[in-house]
Structure 1
Amino acid sequence: MKNKTIIITGASTGIGKEIAKYFIAKQNNVVLNSSNEENLKKAYAELSSPSNAVYLAGDISKAETGKRLVNLALEKFNTVDVLINNAGVFAPKPFLDVEEKDLDRYWSINLKGTYFTTQAVIPEMIKQQNGAIINIGTVLVDHAIGGFPATAPISSKGAIHSLTRQLAAEFGKNNIKVNTIAPGIIRSPLQGKMGIEDADSLAGLHLLNRIGEAHEIAEAAYYLASSEFITGETINVAGGHTIGHAL
């Protein structure tokens, strides 16, 4: 994996930032993206402004952003080897309260963002006859929680899970591996945005009786990025969340 070029969306905070930190430390070239330029600059500085990383602010729901990310990767590092579609939004809202604007937001950022950015990188991966794409989904696609109403974002994430399998089928002949990481409850700023003051209170949702840490998602992403014989899979990094609960 050394010197491979990695594009990471949603890399200014939380899981995305931790993934960027992990790959940079492994001597990969990293292109960081976020829609919030201020947060992105801050994250880059907090990562010590590494010479093997660059950043580009842009809204991934716009197809042009994916193209700009690819162009920057090629300009700075000559290849596009891995794409990690981490950017996304998520919040609970009762089904009967969901409005069209809610659906539009989740489908635009979560699904279209993943779709468009992937469209931008695959032509380069076809030229190389090699590449890895890692999408970020959620265990809630396969293991719903009645007390956590989130049909709008979960529908968009479910579409990403399905997209993963279809892309793996279409581009396996080009040696492009496509997989999904489905996190459980991970310690990140997302919990605060959803109004969860104590993320550790949700530990019982996992058999290991603790919530996950962002670096554990980064480790899984690195494994999938370096694997040559895993594709079309959804890897649950969730402490047993989909198997049972430790309540």
Structure 2
Amino acid sequence: MKNKTVIITGASSGIGKEIAKHFIEKGSNVIMNSSNSENLQKAFLDLNSPLNAIYFSGDISKKETGEKLVALAMENFGSVDVLINNAGIFSPKPFLEVKENDLDMFWNVNLKGTFFTSQAVIPQMLKQKNGSIINIGTVLVDHAISGFPASAPLTSKGAIHAFTRQLATEFGKDNIKVNTIAPGIIRSPLQKKIGVENADSLAGLHLLNRIGEANEIAEAAYYLATSDFITGETINVAGGHTIGHSI
């Protein structure tokens, strides 16, 4: 991945920031995106303002944001080799309490953001006859938890899983690979945002009896970015969450 260009959305914290760090250290050219300009700038500075990275703040649910990210990639680095659709929002809410604006919020950021940004990068990938798109889903699509009501965000994440398979089918002949990473419980700021004060208390949801670390998602993303013969797959990085539990 040295000198390859990678666009990462939702890169200002947590998993996205760790993915950016990993690719930067591997010598990739990285474009970091987030809707929060202050957090994004801080993340860039935390990574020591690397010369092989730039950042751009913008709402990923807006089509023009993806188009701008591609333009920046071409202007600064001359290619678009990998897109990592990490930007997303997630919070539990009982089904009967979900309002229309809740549903719109999840669909706009999670699905439309992934859809439009993918739509923005594919024309350049077609010219290059090569590319990799990596989406971030969740194991909860296939292994829900009754005490964690999240029908609204999971509907949008489930759509991303389906979108991955369809896009891989449509562009496989063009050597564009499309895959999803489905994380389990990962140590990140998201946990506190959704009311989990002690993420390690959820270790038993995984057969390995621990939660995951953000760098483990970054390593999976790097593997998929470098693979030439994996497409249309959903890779669970979840310590056995979908297989069973450690209780």
Task: Count the aligned residue pairs.
Answer: 247
1:152 equivalenced with 2:152 (yes/no): yes
How far apart, in 2, do the equivalents of 1:60 and 1:36 lie? 11
How far apart, in 2, do the equivalents of 1:48 and 1:2 lie? 19
CA RMSD of aligned residues (A): 0.3
Compute the TM-score of the two structures, normalised by the length of structure 2.
Answer: 1.00
How far apart, in 2, do the equivalents of 1:108 and 1:46 lie? 29
1:77 equivalenced with 2:77 (yes/no): yes
How far apart, in 1, do the equivalents of 2:40 and 2:206 lie? 32
How far apart, in 2, do the equivalents of 1:144 and 1:132 lie? 28
**Which residue is 2:225 aligned to?**
225
4+ aligned runs moved over 4 Å, structure 1: none
Aligned to 1:202, the other structure's residue is in SS state helix
How far apart, in 2, do the equivalents of 1:79 and 1:37 lie? 24
Unaligned runs of 5+ in 1: none
Amino acid aligned to 1:243: I
Q: Spell out, residue by residue over 1:116-155, the C-alpha distance to the aligned partner (whole angstroms, 9 max, x if none).
A: 0000000000000000000000000000100100000000
The 5 Å alignment of 1:1-247 reads 1-247=1-247
1:82 CA drift (Å)? 0.1
Unaligned runs of 5+ in 2: none
Compute the TM-score of the two structures, normalised by the length of structure 1.
Answer: 1.00
Aligned to 1:80, the other structure's residue is in SS state coil
Q: Spell out, residue by residue over 1:147-167, the C-alpha distance to the aligned partner (whole angstroms, 9 max, x if none).
A: 100000000000000000000
Q: Spell out, residue by residue over 1:206-234, the C-alpha distance to the aligned partner (whole angstroms, 9 max, x if none).
A: 00000000000000000000000000000
Aligned to 2:231, the other structure's residue is in SS state coil
How far apart, in 1, do the equivalents of 2:220 and 2:227 lie? 11
How far apart, in 1, do the equivalents of 2:144 and 2:39 lie? 32
1:49 CA drift (Å)? 0.2
1:106 CA drift (Å)? 0.1
Q: Spell out, residue by residue over 1:162-220, the C-alpha distance to the aligned partner (whole angstroms, 9 max, x if none).
A: 00000000000100000000000000000000010000000000000000000000000
1:6 CA drift (Å)? 0.1
How far apart, in 2, do the equivalents of 1:14 and 1:201 lie? 19
How far apart, in 1, do the equivalents of 2:27 and 2:74 lie? 17
How far apart, in 1, do the equivalents of 2:95 and 2:210 lie? 29
How far apart, in 2, do the equivalents of 1:46 and 1:147 lie? 36
1:27 CA drift (Å)? 0.3
